[in-house]
Amino acid sequence: MSENLVNLNVNPCKMCMPMGAATALYGIRGCMSILHGSQGCATYIRRHMATHFNEPIDIASSSLTEQGTVFGGEANLLKGISNLIKLYRPEVIGVCTTCLAETIGEDVGAIIGKFHEQNPGLDVKIIRVASPGYGGTQNEGFFAALRAVAGQVEPDREPNGKINIVTPMVSPADMRWLKAFLGGMGLDAIFLPDLSDNLDGVTEKTYQRLKTGGTSLGEISKMAGAKLTVEFSEHAKPDESPAVFLHETYGVPFVRLPLPMGVRGMDSFVEVLRRHGGTVSHDLIKERGRYLDAMVDGHKYCAKARAAVFGDPDFVTAAVRLCCENGIVPVIAATGSVCPTLKAAVREEMDACAEISFVENTRILEDCDFDAIEKYCAELGVNLLIGSSDSRRISRKLGIPLIRCAFPIHDHVGGQRVRTLGFEGSLNILDQAANAMLDRTEARFRGDLYDRFYKGDAAFGEEGIG
Amino acid sequence: MANNILDERQCSISGVDQKGRGVACEKESVSGAVSQRACVYCGARVVLNPITDAYHIVHGPIGCASYTWDIRGSLTSGSETYRNSYSTDLRETDIVFGGAGKLTKAIDELAEKASPKLIFVYATCIVGVIGDDIEAVCRSAEERHGIRVVPVKAPGFSGTKTQGYKLACDAIMQLMLPHSGQPKQFGVNILGDYNLAGEMWIIKGYLEAIGIPVISTIAGDSSYGKLIRAPGAALNLVQCAGSSEYLAERMDGELGIPYIKVSFFGVEDTVASILRVADALGDPVLSANARDFAAKRTAEAMPFIEKYRPKLEGKRAAIFVGGGYKAISLIRQFNELGMKTVVVGTQTGKKDEYETIGALADKDTVILDDANPAELEQFMLEKHADILVGGVKERPLAYKLGIPFCDHNHERKHPLAGFEGIENFISEINLSINSPVWGYVRGCEEIG
C-alpha cells in the first residue's frame, strides 16, 4: 500500500493472480486457458500480455453474468470449455479462477468432473488453478499454476536421470538461454514452464492459433522420476513450490536457488549442475572470465549508481545481489508482493554495499506501490531504476534513467527478448547501469564544472578576450 | 482441424446465418469464445477517466486498477490526478469481513490529505457480491467532507461494456443535475470525445474558428468545474455515440439540451459534422463561416490525400473497433482513399449502426459483432485484407498473419480526428501497408 495514503494502493507495483497463472500456462504444450469469472479479467490480461510480449494472446473467459453470479457459473464454465475446445483443439486446458469465482464459491473441481462425465472419451487434460485476484500478485498466481500442473498430471516415477528446472516468470529469451545452457552442460532437463516459443513466436506461413511450443504433459509427468529439481525461487512458500511438492510426494531431491544472475547466482547454479553430472565447458569458463573483466571495466561508473530495484521477489533479490557485486548501491529493494522473506534475503548485503560509499539510508519494501517507491526515490537520491516500465512516470518526473528488464514493458518493443539471466543477461543489466552513469556524467560535467569553478576572466574585463 | 465459428456466434456474423434479422448485437459475450470485449467496469472507467481532477478510486482487488492505470492517451490542460491509480486493494480478509470500512477510511484520508473536489468510487465484481453498500459510504462521505463522492456500481458481470458507459453517464448526470438552473449561454458541449492525443482540442479549435463557443467537454480534458457548466449549453455534440448518446438523451430530457451526432474521422464526416453543428445553431452567419472553413480545410487536405491515393487505391481494409459510429466513419474514410472495406466489426455496436454499416458496405463485406481472434483470422485471410484497423489486442494477430495494422484505439499518441488526423491516418496506413518488411515476411520459410 501507499505510504502517503495508507488506506489506498496508489499506482500499483503488482498485477493479480490470474495474470500470473495464465502466463505460466503458456509454458505448457498445447494448453489453452480459461478464466472463470467476468469477461473483463481475460481481456485486460490479454491486452497487458500482448503489448509486453508482442504476441497474439488468446485467453478464454467463462463470461459470467449476473445470473451466473447469483445461481452459480457451472453452465457458463461447461459451455466455455466446450467452446474453446471447438476453436482451439487444445491438449490441455487450464481453468483459472478469479476473484468472482472464488467469492461465489465455485467448485471448479466438480464442474470439471461433470464436463468429463458429459464428454466421455474426450482427450483433453483439464487442470484447475485457484487464482483469486485478491489472493496475491501475478507472482503467486504463476507459482499457483505451476504447482497445480505438477500436482495434477499423472506421475511417471520411473527414474530418468533428468533435472527439473522450475522458474518464476522469466522472459522467453532468458528461457531459451536456460535451455541451451543446460544442453551445453550435457544435461537433460524438464522445464516448468517453458515460455520460450509460445510467448516469443516466429513468423510462419500458416498461423497456428494454438501455440506449438512449451513443455508437454508427458514430460511434466516425468518430473516425478527426475534426479533433482532446481527451483529458481527463494521466496515461493512451501505450499506454492513445485520443488517441495515433488520432493514430498515423489521423493525428488531439490535445491532452491536464486535466479542465475551475477557471479554468485551463476556460480551456485553451475556448481549444482556440476555436482549432478554437468560438464563445465571451456566456453563457459571464458564467458565467466569475460563477465569478470566487464565488472572491472565498469566498476567505477557503477559505484556512482544509487538504484531502486522493484518487481517480483525473486527478480528483486537476484538483481539486488547483482548490484551489490558491482558496487551499485541498491537503496531501494521493493516488491508489490506480500513477502516477509525479502528483508532477510537482501538486508545484510545491501548494508555492506551501502557502507562502502557511506550511504546511510536504504529501504526494503514489501507489499508496496509506486507511490511509495517514488517517495523514497526522491528522498534517497535514486539515480537508476531497475524493473518494469510501470516506473516510466517516475523516470520522467524525477529524471532517472530506467533499465527495463521486468514484466510489464509497455512503452518499448522487445519485452519478450529482455535478457537478465546468465553471464550475458547479467552483463546486459550491468552495461546499461554503467552506461547510464556515463551518460549522466557526460551530460553534466562541463556545465557543472563551469558553474562551480569558472569565475570570469578578471584580467580581460566583462567581455573577455573574444 | 479446429472450427472457426461457434454455433452461438453465427447469428452475429453477416452472410453466415442472418435469417433476415441483421447482425445480432447488443448481447452478452459467448463463454469460451475469447471475446475482445472488456467488462462493465471498463466501460464506466473509460468514460470517466479523462475527468482530470477527479480521484478515481477502484474499490476491489488490485487487478482492475492495475490494468486500467493510465493506459489511455487522454490529454489534460490542467490536473494530472486522473493519471494515477487509486485502489482499495482488497485482500482475503476484506472479502470475508467486508470492504466498506476500508473504503471509508480511504476516502477520509484522501479528503484530508489531497483536498479533492470530486471522487468516483468504482465497485468491481466482488464488491457487488460481498455487498458493500458503497452508495451509503459515498453519501456519508459527501456529508462529512462537503465534496462530491459519486458511486459507480460497475461489477464486471452485471452486463456488457455498454452497461458501464451508461453507469458513467448516470454518474455525470448526478454531478450536473444540481447545477441545472444556471442561465443558458450560446455554445455547445462536446460529448463522447476523450481528448485522445488532443483530438478534442482540435475539434474545439474548429468550432471556435467558426464562432461557436465550447461550454464544456465530456469527458476529454474535463474537470469538476468544467463539467458542472455543461447544463448551460445550447446544444450537445455527440462524437462517440456508443458511450455518450445515452447521456445526450438524458440531458435532452432533463436539462432541455438537444443533441446531434457528429464524427470527425475522415473528410466526408468531418465536413458534414462541421456544417451540421453550425446549421443546428440556426445562425446563417455561422453556417456561412462553417462552409468557408470546411472548404478551405478540405482544399488544404486534398493535395495530401491525392499524393497518397495511388499508393492505397484498391487495397482492402478490415476494421475492428469499439463502437459502431467509428466503424461507419472508417468505411467512409477508406472509400475516400479508394479502398474497400472487406471486414467490419465492433465490440459493442448497436442495431441501427449495423444497419448503416450494412448500407455502406459492399454485399460481400463480412460484418460481425463482438468478434473473436478465430473469426478475425478467418475473415481477414479469406477476404485478403491488406490492413487491419483495430486496438492493441488485435495488433499481434494481424502481424502474425502478415497483415499491416493501424492503431485506432485509446492508447495511441497521435490524433486521428479532424483534418490533422486525416493526414496521420493516411500516412500510418501507408507506412504500414507499404513497409518493406512484408516483402521479407511473405517469403519467411525460404532461406539460403
Q: Which residues numbered 49-88 in B keep a CB inside 8 Å of some CB on A?
A: 57, 60-70, 83-88
- Is B346 near chain A, with CB under 8 Å? no
Q: B63: which chain A residues are within 8 Å (Cβ-Cβ)?
A: 15-16, 18-19, 41, 44, 99, 133
Domains annotated for chain A, with CATH where assigned, are: 17-200+209-262 (3.40.50.1980), 282-450 (3.40.50.1980)
Nearest to B396 among A7, A56, A68 (CB): A56
Shared-domain flag, residues B279 and B345: no
CB contact under 8 A, A43 and B38: yes
**Pairwise CB contact (< 8 Å): B89 & A69:** no
Collapsed DSSP state (helix, strand, coil) of residue A9: strand
From chain A residues 342-371, the ones with a CB under 8 A of any chain B CB are 371
Of A15, A39, A99, the CB nearest to B38: A39
List chain A residues with CB under 8 Å of B61: 16, 99, 132-134
Q: Among A10, A133, A390, select the one facing B61 at the smallest CB separation.
A: A133
B92 touches chain A (CB under 8 A): yes
Q: Which residue of A has its CA nearest to B9?
A: A83
Confidence of residue B447 (pLDDT cuts 50, 70, 90): low
Whether the bond between B183 and the residue before it is cis, its omega within 30 degrees of 0, is no
Name residues of chain A where pLDDT drops below 70: 461-466
Residues 6+ apart with CB under 8 A from B10: B16, B17
Q: Is the Cβ of B253 closer than 8 Å to some Cβ of chain A?
A: no
Contacts of A61 in chain B (CB under 8 A): 29, 31-32, 34-35
DSSP per-residue letters across B315-377: -EEEEEES-HHHHHHHHHHHHHTT-EEEEEEESS--HHHHHHHHHHS-TT-EEEES--HHHHH
Q: Which of A1, A86, A204 sits opposite B6 (nearest CB)?
A: A86
Looking at residue A465, its pLDDT comes to 54
Question: Would residue B420 count as lying in a domain?
Answer: no
Amino acid residing at A17? M
Regarding whether B162 and B53 lie in a shared domain, the answer is: yes
Maximal C-alpha separation, chain A: 99
Shared-domain flag, residues B141 and B236: no
- Kindly state whether A124 is in contact with chain B, defined as any CB-CB distance less than 8 angstroms: no
First to last CA, chain A: 60
ipTM of the complex as predicted: 0.95
Which pLDDT belongs to residue B241?
86
Do B145 and B211 share a domain, yes or no?
Answer: no
Domain of B86, in residue numbers: 40-175
**d(C-alpha A58, C-alpha A15), whole Å:** 18
pLDDT of B16 above 70: no
B9 domain-assigned: no
Q: Do B267 and B346 belong together in one domain?
A: no
Q: Which of A53, A66, A135 sits opposite B158 (nearest CB)?
A: A66
Residue B368 lies in a domain: yes
Residues 189-228 of A with CB under 8 A from B: 201-205, 207, 209-210
Question: Is A393 in contact with B83 (Cβ distance < 8 A)?
Answer: yes
Which residue, of B135, B153, B175, is where some domain finishes?
Answer: B175
The shortest C-alpha distance from A302 to chain B (Å) reads 32
> Residue B339 is which amino acid?
M
Angle between helices B418-433 and B267-280 (to 10 degrees): 170
Q: What is the pLDDT of residues A28-65, one digit of tens each?
A: 999 999 999 999 999 999 999 999 999 999 999 999 99
**What's the pLDDT band for B110 if we cut at 50, 70, 90?**
very high
CB of A57 less than 8 A from some CB of B: yes
- By Cβ distance, the residue of A7, A53, A61 closest to B105 is A7
Same domain as B363, residue B280:
no
Kindly state whether residue B426 falls inside one of the protein's structural domains: no
Number of helices and strands in chain B (H, E): 18, 13
Indicate yes or no: CB of A58 within 8 angstroms of CB of B34: yes
**B102 neighbourhood in chain A, CB within 8 Å:** 7
Q: Are residues B72 and B192 in the same domain?
A: no
pLDDT above 50 for B17: no
Measure A171 CA to nearest chain B CA, in Å: 18
Q: Do B194 and B171 belong to one domain?
A: no
Picking from A2, A14, A36, A39 by the largest number of B CB atoms within 10 A of its own CB, the best residue to mutate is A39
Which H helix or E strand runs over A406?
Answer: none
pLDDT in tens, A322-342: 999 999 999 999 999 999 999
d(CA B222, CA A38): 30
Closest Cβ–Cβ partner in A12, A53, A83 for B65: A12
* Order of strands across the sheet that contains B214-219: B214-219, B188-193, B235-238, B259-261
Least CB–CB distance from A203: residue in B105, B156, B441: B441
Bridge-based pairing of strands B86-87 and A9-10 is: antiparallel
B42 Cα to chain A: minimum distance (Å): 7
Give the separation between CA A269 and CA A259, rounded to whole angstroms: 8
Check CB contact of A88 with chain B, cutoff 8 Å.
yes
**In Å, how far is A420's CA from the nearest CA of chain B?**
24
pLDDT at B18: 52
Chain A CB contacts of B129 below 8 Å: 69, 100, 103-104
The residue of chain A with its CA nearest to that of B106 is A7
Q: Does residue B205 share a domain with residue B279?
A: yes
Instruction: For chain B, say whether A144 makes contact (Cβ under 8 Å).
Output: no
Residues of A in contact with B445 (CB under 8 A): 204-205
The owner of cell 483459472 is A96
The shortest CB-CB distance from A99 to any of B61, B88, B395 is to B61
Chain B residues with CB-CB distance to A76 below 8 A: 31
Using alpha carbons only, what angle is made at residue A355 by residues A351 and A358, rounded to the nearest 5 degrees?
130
CA-nearest residue of chain B to A337?
Answer: B62
Q: How far is B442 from chain A (nearest CA, A)?
A: 7
CATH of the domain at B327: 3.40.50.1980
**Alpha-carbon torsion angle B84, B87, B89, B94, nearest 10:** 170
What DSSP string describes B407-425?
E-STT-SS--SHHHHHHHH
A34 near B CB under 8 A: yes
**Domains contained in chain B, number:** 3
Give A-chain residues touching B35 at CB under 8 angstroms: 39, 43, 61, 63
Check if B132 contacts A (Cβ < 8 Å): no
- Together in a domain, B362 and B400: yes
Is pLDDT at B448 greater than 70 in this prediction?
no
| Grid cell at residue A29 | 504444450
Read off the amino acid at residue A332: I
Question: Is A4 close to B392, i.e. CB distance below 8 A?
Answer: no
CA distance A134 to chain B (A): 5
The number of helices, as runs of H, and strands, as runs of E, in chain A is 17, 14
B348 assigned to some structural domain: yes
Grid coordinates of B349: 455496436
- B443 within some domain: no
Put simply, whether B356 touches A (Cβ < 8 Å) is no
Closest-CA residue of B relative to A206 is B401
A240: number of CA atoms within 13 Å, CB side?
25
Res B1 pLDDT > 50: no
Please judge whether B126 and A103 are an interchain contact, meaning their C-beta atoms are less than 8 angstroms apart. Answer: yes
B93 and B145 in one domain? yes
Domain boundary among B126, B150, B175: B175
User: Cell 500516412 appears where?
Assistant: B427
- Whether residue B306 lies inside any domain: the answer is no
In a domain, B354, yes or no: yes
Which residue among B4, B37, B441 places its CB closest to the CB of A43? Answer: B37
Give pLDDT tens digits for B114-142.
Answer: 999 999 999 999 998 999 999 999 999 99
Q: Determine the average pLDDT of the residues in B421-426.
A: 97
Q: How far is A54 from chain B (nearest CA, A)?
A: 6
Q: Verify that B217 and B337 share a domain, yes or no.
A: no
